[in-house]
Amino acid sequence: MVNTKVNLCGIELDNPVIPASGTFGFGYEFAELYDINCLGTFSFKGTTKDARFGNPTPRIAECDSGMINAVGLQNPGVETVISHELPELKKCFSKPVMANVSGFSIEDYAYTCEKLDKEEQVGWLEVNISCPNVHGGGMSFGTSPEAAAEVTKAVKAVTTKPVIIKLSPNVTDIVSIAKACEEAGADGVSLINTLLGMRIDLKTGKPVIANKMGGFSGAAIKPVGIRMVYQVSNAVKIPVIGMGGVSNAEDVIEYIMAGATAVEVGAANLVNPYASKEIVENLPAVMAKYGVKNLIDIKGCAHNG
């Protein structure tokens, strides 16, 4: 027998498989297909203070071994998430859920996190700092250690539950940003978010998506995710959630060997709605194949090589 359990910021998960925000809705849509309680948990759709329609269409472009999206954080706003989405989720999911939060100012982040922190169903707050800092001239909070720390401190000041900061890979030194978040009080970090990508329509000579550029995800970005998780987990003491190109149980093992405590599954859910379920089901056999009895035994083992 193998043990798939992991501990994420003081909360035990049956397994480390977590569908990523933006690829799993608010869960109950997937609950129509299978029992989502088989998952470790999931990160629900990125939520902002106010409702957002998102970017104009087209928003999606296919790529070799991946996809580009520029949905633009479309969501009903935190009040509706609390009054409608979470009660619907509670009907089909009995575990703590990860609340993903985005914002356009420090005040936005603090307001939304404080609201969601009070919800019994919320186990962790995953704070996405890859959004534009509109009040600061369009700079992303996630590209500056100082700005990342500022968001972390503001959220920690108004919450009691574990705060996990989601980092952008579109930076020169992700380690310095992760360390700044840790020093500011973050309970964990998750990485990587999407890379910035673009496609051009050869018939029109124009960008495929209306936003011109968008987030590139899928199997092609896994080596970047593995590298960054390896670097960050070696530099911080807080848990790291790894993601980027995860599509099978072998990918989960590889991320944990790089230093991740848990692993998020993103684009694969959009290709195959059963992807996360299949990864959970296949994980014990893959662990046995590689002689792994407990996931904790291989966490960060690549650092010993």
Q: Which residues belong to the active site?
A: 131
C-beta of residue 159 within 8 angstroms of C-beta of residue 134: no
Residue 153: which of 122, 118, 113 has the closest Cα? 113
Partners of 207 in beta bridges = 200
301: helix, coil or strand? helix
Residues 211, 113, 153: CA angle, nearest 5 degrees: 95
Q: How many CB atoms lie within 10 A of CB 301?
A: 13
- C-alpha to C-alpha distances, 58 to 46, 55, 61, 208, nearest whole angstrom: 20, 9, 8, 7
- What lies within 8 Å, CB to CB, of 228 at 6+ separation is 169, 174, 191, 192, 244
123: helix, coil or strand? strand
Partners of 69 in beta bridges = 60, 215
Q: Which token pair is 11?
A: 């909360």
What count of residues does the chain have?
305
Between the CA atoms of 166, 170, 171 and 176, what dihedral angle is there, to the nearest 10 degrees? 20
Residue 102: which of 126, 86, 79 has the closest Cα? 126
Q: Which token pair is 97?
A: 């859920």
First to last CA, the chain: 27
